[in-house]
Amino acid sequence: MRPLTLAATVALLVAASGAPKAVADDGKSTQPPEAINRALALQGLTRDDVGWEARGTWEGYPCDIPYKLRHFDDLLAEPFATVPWVRAMGASVRDTLDPAKLEDKGVRGAGGLMRAAHALGINRRFGALRSYSANLTAKPTPLDEALLACWRAAGRPTRFVTFGQESPYPEIEKPLTDAAKTLPKEIGDIVGQLVVNLIDARRWADLTWRNVPLEKRVAVSKRLDLGAEEVDALDYEPAVDDVARTWDEASLWYASMKTVEALDVARQALAPLIRPRAMALADVQIDVETPLGRVVITGTGEGTTDLGDAGAFLVVDLGGDDHYRGRVGASDATRSVGACLEMGGDDLYTGGDVTQGAGVCGVGVLLDAAGNDVVKSTGALAQGAGQFGFGALIDIAGNDKRTARYSAQGAAYFGVGLLFDIAGDDEYVVASDGQGFGGAAGVGVLADRSGSDRYEAIRDPAASGRPSYHQLTPETPRVSVSNAQGCSMGRRGDGADGHSWAGGLGALLDGEGDDTYSAANWAQGTGYWFGTGVLWDGAGNDTYAADWWCSASGAHFCIGALVDEAGDDVHTCRATNGIAFGHDFTLAVLADLAGNDRYECPNDVIARSINRSVAMLLDGGGDDVYRSGEKRDARPANGAVAATPAVAAGRPGSATFDAKMLDRRATGVYWTEPTSVGLFVDAGGGKDDYGPDADAVTRDGGSWIDGDDSDNAHARNFGIGIDTEAPMDVDRPQGGKR
């Protein structure tokens, strides 16, 4: 074991003595030492010892995995940077989606919605763009002129002359002029401005594909089952790799920023113009087929708009309770931009695949300004979904109900999928792959700024169509594979065809309210195969419940994180492998920073590391209740060959030993070189309850480790637990390995 640093030595002495006050990290203060440092010092560690960087000599460790997002390796090397990184996403939700700021046009024309799309989506995947401005240039434009510009943008004529005379048909210009006259000029000019801005966005979206043959785009756009295909590499589609290596991402994300900003600018300009004219606008109906797709403008009365499978370039509804069918706010391989601006009303949206804010090989955005809406999708890629594209569903206000099947409600593969809800008490239901799901190389985010919300991923596999092969005992019924509520999955090809794709980022971000999160397997801050799953909750008394692989967990080279800022919360893992559980080089971090909380994981140990993972539960204070491993016995699990006394006793904060961690003569040595840890920290005081069956050391004010002579200590595989009055600092900058 390496010599202790001065800070570690001081903290170790304090921990051993049990003294309430001592010299702190700087060698001068008389305040209690910081709780995390104090816990690590029990085993002679500092923060710099935790984490790993894969080496080229680690034969057997998966290498050459393409499409990793840029944060991934850095967080594995600096695990304590995870909480500030997650909180930065939360800060973006609070700032950019603040209802009080949404009417602010921003400096240089950067509105809050566009900045949110950049901060939470685009920038997480592609860092070469900043959110200074979308650089929109269109001025208010007469609607008929703007519609004629669609023909020019497509290189199509609007007048036809042959044999020296103009053909009387087809007639294009006059019908557009007549249609535009049905709108008040001020409103028509704003809609015209929106059309021209979207034409600009389309130009950039089309540039994305200049080096990609159409047949490749069509091939990837037809694969609507990537969520089911990825995990264990069931059906390789070579076009995915071909497109990923040749598309021009920068142009697509620039087009996305322009589209979101253009819709937001129009929303703000139209609102004061519609209010005094609401009655007069009831019967407006304009429906034009342009070379760029349909342009539909409807009035403030009730109505039904059926877009079918073709979708539209632009839909603008001025208000009223409307029903939308088909592909609304969606793009595809042959139409690179699809946008919808819904200005108000209690609306019903029904559709199948690729709808309600879906970007497939392009940009698809649905912006709904107000109303209590019902949104239903029975297919895949909906309600804020991107696949080689940018898809966003943005809802400003109202109590909304959304149900979807697969790859929905903030889901993406090789793209960005966003669902933003600014205000209201909302309900979300998904079968699988959603509510903040990052598939391979995708960034999927569900951000709900305020309200008491309910998030459900269907548990019944008969209803979801996704039975999980994980189950607790033969008596336990199967549940669904949720892949939801802050989850990311990659394509694990090492056991199949060798074509691995790193997972992306899946994030569910909820700003405030008393929220309920319910799921089955793989949910609530969970990763798999080089993916990162994140759940952040900013305030409120929240309830989290799921079965396997949940509440900051993961398996096989991944990151799972759950950060809850405040409130009296309940975290329940019904089965096992949850509540800060890491398997096979996983970084799992659950930080609940305030409140009287309850943690229930009766079938497994809270904050448990197996197979060289870093698993941490960091509780920031309050009167907490822990029920950890009460139904476990000492049998090993998940490939571990021996259960440590800490695991057998159900102590929070344990690391399962495996003999291969000490075998330096094996065919691969990557099992022997990292430092792994199962770390439990209850900081800041409070009266804590570890249950009637807890052993003598697992108690309020106690601390526990495996011991210097244990196999774990020899293998640098540490189980550590501490309950202390010392404060916890999760935000401190650190140096570390990079």
pLDDT digit string, tens, across residues 28-78: 444 558 999 999 999 999 999 999 999 999 999 999 999 999 999 999 999
pLDDT band at 478 (very low <50, low <70, confident <90, very high): confident
Strand order in the sheet with 608-610: 358-360, 385-387, 411-413, 437-438, 487-489, 526-528, 553-555, 581-583, 608-610, 654-655
Q: Which residues contact 165 (CB under 8 A, 6 or more apart)?
A: none
Q: What pLDDT is stored for residue 643 in this prediction?
A: 54
Q: What pLDDT is stored for residue 707 in this prediction?
A: 81
In a 13 Å sphere around the CA of 419, the CA atoms on its Cβ side amount to 37
pLDDT at 222 over 60: yes
Q: 552's torsion region: left (phi>0), alpha (psi -120 to 50) or beta?
A: left
In percent, how much of the chain has pLDDT > 90? 83
Q: What pLDDT is stored for residue 54 in this prediction?
A: 93
Mean pLDDT of the chain: 92
The answer to whether the CB of 318 falls within 8 A of the CB of 298 is yes
Residue 63 token pair = 């290498």
Spatial distance between the Cα atoms of 198 and 153, rounded to a whole number of angstroms: 11
Residue 596 token pair = 């009287």
Average pLDDT (124-150) is: 97
Between 637 and 353, residue with greater pLDDT: 353
Q: What single string gives the DSSP state of each residue in 361-389?
A: SSEEEEEE-SS--EEEESSEEESSEEESS
Candidate from 162-171, 464-473, 665-674 with smallest mean pLDDT: 464-473
pLDDT at 199 over 60: yes
Indicate the angle between helix axes 173-180 and 143-153, nearest 10 degrees: 140
In percent, how much of the chain has pLDDT > 70? 92
Three-state secondary structure call for residue 94: helix
Q: What pLDDT is stored for residue 16 in this prediction?
A: 39
Average pLDDT (507-513) is: 98
Spatial distance between the Cα atoms of 620 and 259, rounded to a whole number of angstroms: 41
Candidate from 101-110, 165-174, 408-417 with smallest mean pLDDT: 101-110
pLDDT at 418 over 80: yes
The answer to whether the CB of 539 falls within 8 A of the CB of 507 is no
The answer to whether the CB of 606 falls within 8 A of the CB of 617 is yes
Q: Which helix (H) or strand (E) holds 616?
A: strand 614-619
Spatial distance between the Cα atoms of 458 and 523, rounded to a whole number of angstroms: 11
Spatial distance between the Cα atoms of 717 and 659, rounded to a whole number of angstroms: 11
pLDDT at 444 over 60: yes
Average pLDDT (711-722) is: 95
Q: What pLDDT is stored for residue 472 in this prediction?
A: 55
Length of the chain: 738
Cis peptide preceding 170, ω within 30 of 0: yes
Spatial distance between the Cα atoms of 337 and 215, rounded to a whole number of angstroms: 18
Model confidence pLDDT, tens digit, residues 6-21: 444 444 443 433 333 3
Spatial distance between the Cα atoms of 253 and 694, rounded to a whole number of angstroms: 53
Spatial distance between the Cα atoms of 40 and 8, rounded to a whole number of angstroms: 8
Q: What pLDDT is stored for residue 32 in this prediction?
A: 57
pLDDT at 505 over 70: yes
Residue 45 token pair = 């560690």
Q: Give the phi and the psi of residue 316 in degrees, each rounded to 5.
A: -125, 120
pLDDT band at 229 (very low <50, low <70, confident <90, very high): confident
* Nearest Cα residue to 411 out of 376, 387, 377: 387
For residue 120, the 8-state DSSP code is I
pLDDT at 642 over 90: no
pLDDT band at 695 (very low <50, low <70, confident <90, very high): confident
Q: What pLDDT is stored for residue 168 in this prediction?
A: 86
Spatial distance between the Cα atoms of 616 and 609, rounded to a whole number of angstroms: 8
Tokens 């606008």 label which residue? 281
Q: Which residues contact 168 (CB under 8 A, 6 or more apart)?
A: none
- 3-state helix, strand and coil shares in percent for the chain, rounded to the nearest 5: 25, 30, 50
> E-strand spans in 307-422?
314-317, 322-325, 337-342, 348-351, 358-360, 363-368, 374-377, 380-382, 385-387, 390-395, 401-408, 411-413, 416-421
pLDDT band at 738 (very low <50, low <70, confident <90, very high): very low
Residue 144 token pair = 């008929």
Spatial distance between the Cα atoms of 388 and 407, rounded to a whole number of angstroms: 13
Average pLDDT (274-293) is: 95
In a 13 Å sphere around the CA of 475, the CA atoms on its Cβ side amount to 0
Q: What pLDDT is stored for residue 486 in this prediction?
A: 98
pLDDT at 110 over 70: yes
Between 301 and 168, residue with greater pLDDT: 301
pLDDT at 685 over 70: yes
pLDDT band at 617 (very low <50, low <70, confident <90, very high): very high
Q: What pLDDT is stored for residue 109 in this prediction?
A: 79
Candidate from 27-41, 110-124, 507-521, 688-702 with smallest mean pLDDT: 27-41
Q: Give the phi and the psi of residue 721 in degrees, each rounded to 5.
A: -140, 145
The answer to whether the CB of 243 falls within 8 A of the CB of 212 is yes
Q: What pLDDT is stored for residue 230 in this prediction?
A: 79
Average pLDDT (193-214) is: 98
Spatial distance between the Cα atoms of 120 and 90, rounded to a whole number of angstroms: 9
